[in-house]
Amino acid sequence: MQGIVGVFRELDATVDAVHALKKLRAGNIDIYTPAPRHELEHILTHRASIVRLYTLLGGLAGATFGYWIPIWISDYWPLVVGGKPVPSWVPYTIISFELMVLIGSLATVAGLFITARIPRITMTVGYDERFSNANFGVWVECPPDKQADVTETLKQHGATEVRGER
Amino acid sequence: MSENPTPSGVRRREFLKILGAGGVATAAIGCSSDRVEKLIPYLNHPDETVPMVSNYYASTCRECSAGCGVLLETRDGRTFKLEGNPDHPLNRGALCARGQAAVQGLYNPDRYRGPMVRNASGQLVPTTWDAALKLMAQKLGAVQAGGRAGSALFLNRHESGSFPAFLDEWLAAYGMPAHLSVDPLADNAVIAANRQSYGVSWPWLAFSAAKLIVSIGADFLDAWGANVPQQLEFADARARLADAPRFVYVGPRRSLTGCNADQWIACRPGSELAIANALSGKGSLDEAATASDVPVATLQALRAELTGTRPSLVLSGASGTDAMELALAVNELNRQLGAVGTTVLPDRAITSFDGIATDADVNAAIDAMRAGQVPLLMIRGANPVFTTPRYVAVADALRKVPFKVSFSSYPDETSELCDLVLPDHHAIESWGDAQPMANVISVQQPGMAPVYDTRQTADVLITLAKANPGIASKFAAPNYMRWLIDRYPGGSTSFTLALEKGVGTGTVAASPAPRRPPATPKSAPSISQTAGDMYLVVYPSASLGDGSGANKPWLQEFPDPVTKICWQSWVEINQQTAVKLGVDTGDILRVKTAQGAVEAPAYVFMGIHKDTVAIPFGLGHTAYGRYAAGIGVNPADVLPVGFDAKSGAFAWTATKVTVTKTGAYTPIVTTEGSARQHGRGIAQALTVQELADLAAGREKEKVEAMPGMPNTEYLPGLRSPMAADAQGVVSSDIKHKEQGMYSPDHWSGMAKRRWAMTVDLARCTGCQACVTACYAENNIPTVAAPYQEVHTAFLHGVAGGNILKGREMNWIRLERYWEGGEDGGDFEARFVPMLCQHCGNAPCEPVCPVYATYHSPDGLNVQVYNRCVGTRYCSNNCPYKVRYFNWFGYGEPARPQYAWPERLSWQLNPDVTVRGKGVMEKCSFCVQRIREAEHRAKAEGRAVRPDEFTTSCAQACPSRAITFGDAADNDWTVAKLALDQRGYHVFQEQLNTFPAVVYLKKVNHPAPAASAGA
Amino acid sequence: MATVTRPDEDVLRLGPNIPHANIQLPGVAEYEQVTREIQRTLYPTKLWFAGLSFAILCMLIGAATWAWQVYMGLGVAGYSPPVMWGVYIVTFVFWVGIGHAGTLISAILYLFRAGFRTTIYRCAEAMTVFAIMTAGLFPILHLGRPWKFFWLIPYPSWRLIWPQFKSPLVWDVFAILTYLTVSSTFLYIGLLPDFAALRDAEPRPLRKHIYGVLSLGWRNSEMEWRHFARAYLFLAAFSTPLVLSVHSTVSFDFAMADTPGWHATLFAPYFVAGAIFSGIGMVFTIIIPIRRWFHLKHYVTLNHLDAAAKLCLFTSLVVGTAYLTEFFIGWIGGNSIEQSYWWNRVFGQWWWAAWVMLTCNCVLPLTLFVQKLRRNTTWLFTLSIFINLGMWFERFVIFDPSLSHEFEPWQWTRYAPTYVDWAILLGSFGWFTMWFMLFIKNFPVVAISEVKEIVPPRLRTPHPMEGIEVTGMHLEFEPETPGERD
Amino acid sequence: MTKRRKRVVVPGLAALAVVAVLLSAYTGATQQPDTVIKDRGSWGYSAGSSPQGRSPIQPIAFPHPTHVQTLGMNCLYCHFSANKSPDPGMPAVGTCMGCHLVIGPNRPAMNGRPARKSEGIATLQKYWAQKKPVPWVRIHHVPDYVNFAHMPHINAGVTCQTCHGQVQQMNRVYQYASLNMGWCINCHVGNVNPKWKARYDCSVCHY
């Protein structure tokens, strides 16, 4: 995996650069930004995140489990308390709800980790400390023959620094 | 029975030590402990015993003079419970609180471990029996040699039966005068009067035959006479509901007896005679009215009622300087009214009080000591230093006696002053007999081997006699038991037969000694002449008796039935007077006479005449062990020495006092929260009229809420909702098939039962015998002894701190509510025993997070101690507040609050787990008895028979107010009683709890003229 | 710039909302400033060490007292049956309540896109986590046998027995544990990008390494941000019903009982409102000193405090209404037992506690109707102390007068806490403060990346919408410009 | 070329530990009586939650096989109250001496069998001579809050061996069953023998 990373100071410059690169069809583009910006999200037109799926499944699993456990136990020890039916679903709804929230949120986090591929052991190439502070970064994964054009395009759109990484 | 018992019976007693100390460990390894435990077998197995199965030895209770029959429940060589002997004519299976507590005297941690002798430096030090007996023999010899045997003295705590005769024989053999038989509680005046009028010391009082009972200060339910048989009779009388006798109590203070009266006439102390005369017509009403501060109209009405009602019963128990005169007048009145033969039965006399020495005799003896005329004093059981006024200075008198021998088993005030202590067996360890009634012998046999190195006094005396060549021949019998059997009417065969039932027929050998010439008592001035601004009434505490009960934690923690105060002395003062003096409950009052003064907190009380203060007698010990010493004050300290001139009876009510407010304050140690019901219908009552209406069905709406009404559907086969709710179906829509073991069709069949209880408030007198019975049966810890004091409580190192915080553990408690009387007029006392109601819809169950409490198929509300984690939510949610929490390690020997210090732990019931720190506990309907009965039935291949067993409280109740059984089975008594028209559930209407306890309303008998509502 | 190709039209439409950003944080000019000024707060000071050690001391006092209580038994505390729940449960509910405002601000207001939450939510969320950690201790240390607390948790045991799921206490276990897990997860996920920023900005090697580990290799890539935003949204969406359910469940502990004064359908909403109210009070108590000592006044501006104060006022009114409703129901219900309880609550042994509660929770917050006071940090801080006090006494007044005055008159009693209760209460504050102290000097108290979202990014060409007059209804932020102490 | 390596803590060891604890705690209930490890020495433990298999050294190495199998004595001869009391009863020393007054430690060689010297009988007679009971070490023990009664079990036809194992074959008695609550319940619900199923709510044993 090799490519060019360009460091930008301004947001609109980054946007313009990405536009140009997309026209150039140099290769996969990824952007680093200190804070999420809609402009950048819309330039790289990705599908919506699938984290929601994890959330849904987790929530359903939790709710089911939350009903199953008390009902199974009521069946195991049929002891009457306070003259109430041994398996009584009303109080068990609370257990079910809490477990839905618990397992649902944990599943969401798991979903985030999986989809966003964290935790990461290595930073991989193309990252720069400045990207978490104030600068925007554009990483273009491209074969050596395209690197010249990409570098050129980035510079032209005002990249303060352009370097190749492998 | 003398070998080591197998540990299996004992082990359970230290239960939950594991859970307390090694809790974390046990959680991991599932509570199976791996300490090395030994299984110690018998060396030779006693034939009649089976390990972990109780034997019941019929014997006689010696806690008071009456001599009730008891069964000593003994297992693995230890007697751990006293139960009334059903075959005994006196107490018919009932037993009072003091009798129950005898076992705590047996295992008392402060008992003498063995003989003690006073050494050169004046300390009492342990010695051996040989040495002690040698010393004793030598002293006896010296006295005989000195020719002063004639003036030696033997004070014996009064008991009927053969021992007095034996003792007098022994004394006579040594040339000593007959012993003095001491009972500070005995009403010498009434006894003397009865002898004069009827020729017997205590006729049988047939309350149930009467239509009207008038008691002039006779507390026949507290400590006056033989209170258990009297209470049984009285309860039977009251159980006749509509035609039960009306009961009027005349006296300065409303005692427990007074609280059971339908009407209380408050009179000045000392005016009782005038009233009696007025009633009999001998005296004029006006004099009586002025003397007694009672409206003429009231006396008029009473006299009219008395003359108009037959048969009636009049009693007198006022202990003043004219006591005998009063008693004679009352006996005369009874004769006029034709009561003798109908309600007063001299031919069924109680003979327990025969041969009691008068207080004057004792006083004369003490004077003799003071004069140095007594060379040798022997005291057994009696404790004159405590029971006689300090003004008499018994201690000084004792110091004048060169050699004093005590046979007391406890370090009480008197024995602490003696030179030699030859500790006697406890009654549970000794042989003996009693003559409670004519031609009835109640035998006494040991339940177990001696706990400590003590010896029965009679045996000691025989040993001494044998050692004395001069008289050895007179005492051939090897020991007292043989001596008894030899003299027993019918010989050993009938003796053996008697041992089985506990009672035999016949009359024991009478004392050969001539009666001592009665001392001439110095008469005292009439109480109205004494100096002071208020009358002082000193009355014996219902639980502590003459103070001999004070070393038993059960009795100390036993709330006074009327004031509900424990571990404390108090001064009762009328509320109007209190307002006048600016006194409030808890303010410490100083009660002063010429003889001395005592200080105790005030208890503002409606039930006492406004010119009077009252202090209970029995507390204020300076010795007598860790539970008694330093608790409360002894009112005898302020009493002058005055006697009723005719009978020689000590006048307890003999002086006025000056009452001043010290300004100090101490919280009253009481179990009472609010003394009023606030209209919540906890203790309900009806008048005779309302009862009639009820019977005639004229009071439908009141009947609606009662069990048995078809307003709730229930399972077929189970009659009442009370029975059906065991399956939890009354208020829930649970389907029959979903019920599992709660369905009556379940193979276990448990759900066919519904354990339930009825409490008849018409019978209940509030005596609280059930409370002590519960403590005894269920290993309930006492929590308020001085050494158990918490330093976070209001008080430091003073008894009662835990009770001030409401932490008493009485699984069953007697609630005493006042009705009326806010205007200072007459008022009503309602007693209601409150215990776990074992609700069908128990609020406590669904809130427990760990199933530590749940509803068992047979209708019990079960508390699983070892599952409890101690969230205490159940108690928050219990409307009856009958759940009790172990705030400290009462059951853990390692803890400072351990409730059974060394040897008291032997009294623990091996069938019941001792609860550890941090768990909830409550009434279990004596589930251990239920299981035992089930096991026994299974072993015999049958079903549990109706009324086969009952709970401890029901068994002990001297009013027979409590009935326990299976409400789902018509053959049980309780099933019928539960449907009684007087029945009601507490809080059922508000909370729909469907309790298993049905209360039967009390029935009041208002004065014929003014028919006051209930 | 002629050489530059103009961005497409759609890009223009998506231009940064600069005016809004200006109004939010006028004192924050650019991204670097944010990272710099937040990173600057992570240097321990003497004052901080002093505070931390004091907190630890208090915590140790509480711990020692608890050990004594475990050894001796619960009797050393002031329980006087039937008052079976005392200071411990009161404090438990108090701390649970504190937690709620944090989740409200961080989650619910996030869903509502309430701008003023951005700078204060990190503190609030941390407060939530630590408050729940504190609250969670009390159900355990009020147990008679605390070493058995795990019996409330359904785990397979050789006894083959399980908790009793109909008991509100078991609901509590689930609710509290869920709440603790979810809110701490929420806090950590929010912290991820900030860890990354600190990882890259931190000069001190040890901390740099630690932040590196904590950041889980976060690298600010567009792809990460996209999933992050989604996940964060769903976590917020879960926390919202959770925060309502948790205190409702806690209120069930009481509403499910038949005790007079507890047995009311009002309890769930009443408790939730009270919880949020008390929580916001605690937020003020925490945020006002922090913004002063950490020199963050231009982040947490008066506008933010003003908005929060309005929320506080609103919840105070809700709580006040609940109080009145309770009394009204008690009166109109006609149940003599209830009525005697209400009388006892206001005129009984603890009458003054009831009046403290009413004063602190209903009367004093009314001052927030005055804008001057809403923007006066001194007054806000003072008021917040009163609110904390008042809310503690609210729980006390609800629980103990009820228990001491129940159905059975014979068992009516008086309750007085002992030194053990007070020491453990003190210990709980020490415990909470200890964790918070450790937090503020090791983690960013203001969310770096979220602040950057509302700070205008640097642009090459001036934005077409710049200079539009939109600063009408917004007052000046506190006149203290950044960099004054650089 | 800025490339950085970052370690990442992978939490989960804690979770594994928890699972392990729970499983170990669970084993007690699932343990089958025939899987116990025989003679583990005086303080041996079986896996799980009870001292199952524990086989302490007794003051007298009492050979059950000799008495039960060789001599054909009934359990109830020594444990006399098992069918009429909660407690099975330990034989009094006198009971042992009933026979061992005659049967001494030293047996001469007779009808084909060699002479033998019995330590146990010697010790027993020493105890008897000193009038001391034999301090047997307890093996089967349930906690004090469990009210286990032998009588109803025997009367229900549950054999001694069901809970105590083939004692008649044990030269040294060991704890045969786990005696865990789960083990009790397993029988009470009728899994062992449908005829033996009984109530299994808490108050049957805990009060």
pLDDT value, residue C190 = 92
pLDDT value, residue D23 = 58
pTM to 2 decimal places: 0.90
Q: Which of B29, B41, B747 sits opposite D134 (nearest CB)?
A: B41
C466 inside 8 A of chain A by CB: no
CB contact under 8 A, D28 and C217: no
| Contact between B633 and B615 (Cβ < 8 Å) | yes
CB contact under 8 A, B881 and C81: yes
Given pLDDT bands bounded at 50, 70 and 90, which one contains residue A124? low
The predicted model gives D80-99 an average pLDDT of: 89
pLDDT value, residue C353 = 93
Residues of B in contact with A94 (CB under 8 A): none
Given pLDDT bands bounded at 50, 70 and 90, which one contains residue B16? very low
How many residues are recorded in chain C?
486
The predicted model gives B506-511 an average pLDDT of: 85
Residue of A nearest to C239 (CA): A101
Residues of A in contact with B854 (CB under 8 A): 79-81
The predicted model gives B220-225 an average pLDDT of: 91
pLDDT value, residue B531 = 85
Residues of D in contact with B861 (CB under 8 A): none
Higher pLDDT pick, D13 / C159: C159
Q: Which of C173, C407, C413 sits opposite B879 (nearest CB)?
A: C407
- Side chain identity at B875, as an amino acid letter? S
CB contact under 8 A, B16 and D92: no
Handedness of CA C437, C441, C447, C451 (dihedral sign): positive
> CA-CA distance, C376 to C305, in Å (whole number)?
9
Residues on D contacting C at a C-beta cutoff of 8 Å: 6-9, 22, 25-29, 48-49, 178, 180-182, 185
CB contact under 8 A, D6 and C212: yes
Q: Which of A122, A127, A165 sits opposite D1 (nearest CB)?
A: A165
**Token couple for C404:** 């001491």
CB contact under 8 A, D3 and A125: yes
Q: What is the pLDDT of residues B879-899, one digit of tens each?
A: 999 999 999 999 988 888 999
CA distance A84 to chain C (A): 9
3-state class (DSSP) for residue D171: coil
Higher pLDDT pick, D36 / B355: B355
CA distance A139 to chain D (A): 14
CA distance D175 to chain A (A): 28
- pLDDT of B216 above 90: yes
One digit per residue, the tens of pLDDT, for chain C of length 486 reads 233 334 444 444 444 444 444 456 777 778 888 999 999 999 999 999 999 999 999 999 999 999 999 998 999 998 998 999 999 999 999 999 999 988 888 888 888 877 788 888 999 999 999 999 999 999 999 999 999 999 998 887 777 788 999 999 999 999 999 999 999 999 999 999 999 999 999 999 999 999 999 999 898 888 889 899 889 999 999 999 999 999 999 999 999 998 888 988 899 999 999 999 999 999 999 999 998 899 888 888 888 888 899 999 999 999 999 999 988 988 888 788 888 888 888 888 889 999 999 999 999 999 999 988 998 899 999 999 999 999 999 999 998 888 998 999 999 998 989 899 999 999 999 999 999 999 999 999 999 998 888 887 888 776 655 554 444 344 455 544 443 333
Residue of B nearest to C142 (CA): B871
CB pairs under 8 A between C and D: 36
Classify residue B114 by its DSSP letter.
S
CB contact under 8 A, C165 and A131: no
CB contact under 8 A, C166 and A38: no
Q: Which of B734, B843, B851 sits opposite A85 (nearest CB)?
A: B734
Q: What is the pLDDT of residues B440-475, one digit of tens each?
A: 999 999 999 899 999 999 999 999 999 988 888 888
Which residues, including other chains, have CB under 8 Å from residue C41's CB and lie 6 or more apart? C294, C296, C440, C441, C444, C445
Given pLDDT bands bounded at 50, 70 and 90, which one contains residue A27? confident
Percent of chain B with pLDDT over 70: 91
> CA-CA distance, C98 to C117, in Å (whole number)?
17
Burial call C299-311: b when 16+ CB within 10 Å, e when fewer: bbbbbbbbbbbeb
The predicted model gives B491-511 an average pLDDT of: 89
> Beta strand pairing status for B420-421 and B432-437?
unpaired
Residues of C in contact with D49 (CB under 8 A): 158
Percent of chain C with pLDDT over 90: 57
> CA-CA distance, B880 to B872, in Å (whole number)?
14
- pLDDT of D27 above 70: no
Residues of C in contact with D25 (CB under 8 A): 155-158
Residues of D in contact with C217 (CB under 8 A): 6, 8
CA distance D149 to chain A (A): 23
pLDDT value, residue D20 = 61
- pLDDT of A83 above 80: no
- pLDDT of D160 above 80: yes
CB pairs under 8 A between A and B: 55
Residues of C in contact with B870 (CB under 8 A): 74, 143-145, 148
Mean pLDDT of chain B: 86
> CA-CA distance, C89 to B861, in Å (whole number)?
26
User: Dihedral, CA atoms, B126, B131, B135, B141, nearest 10 degrees?
Assistant: 160
pLDDT value, residue B342 = 92
- pLDDT of D79 above 60: yes
pLDDT value, residue B710 = 38
For residue C347, what are the CA distances in angstroms to B850, C342, C353? 37, 8, 10
Higher pLDDT pick, D35 / A119: A119
| Contact between B768 and B561 (Cβ < 8 Å) | yes
> Beta strand pairing status for B124-126 and B116-118?
antiparallel
Q: Could you tell me what percentage of chain D is helix, strand and coil, using 3-state DSSP and rounding each to the nearest 5?
A: 40, 5, 55
Q: What is the pLDDT of residues B710-764, one digit of tens each?
A: 344 333 333 344 445 544 454 444 555 566 777 777 787 787 888 889 999 999 9
Classify residue D118 by its DSSP letter.
-
Sheet of A161-165, strands arranged across? A28-32, A136-141, A3-8, A161-165
CB contact under 8 A, B889 and C158: no
Given pLDDT bands bounded at 50, 70 and 90, which one contains residue D18? low
Q: What is the pLDDT of residues B20-29, one digit of tens each?
A: 222 222 232 3
D12 inside 8 A of chain A by CB: no
CA distance A79 to chain B (A): 7
Residues of C in contact with B680 (CB under 8 A): 336-337, 407, 409
pLDDT value, residue B840 = 82
Using omega within 30 degrees of 0 as the cis cutoff, is the peptide bond preceding C82 cis?
Answer: yes
For residue B649, what are the CA distances in angstroms to B379, B520, B594, C315, C389? 21, 11, 21, 78, 67
Residues of A in contact with C226 (CB under 8 A): 36, 41, 46, 49
User: Is the confidence metric ipTM above 0.90 for this complex?
Assistant: no
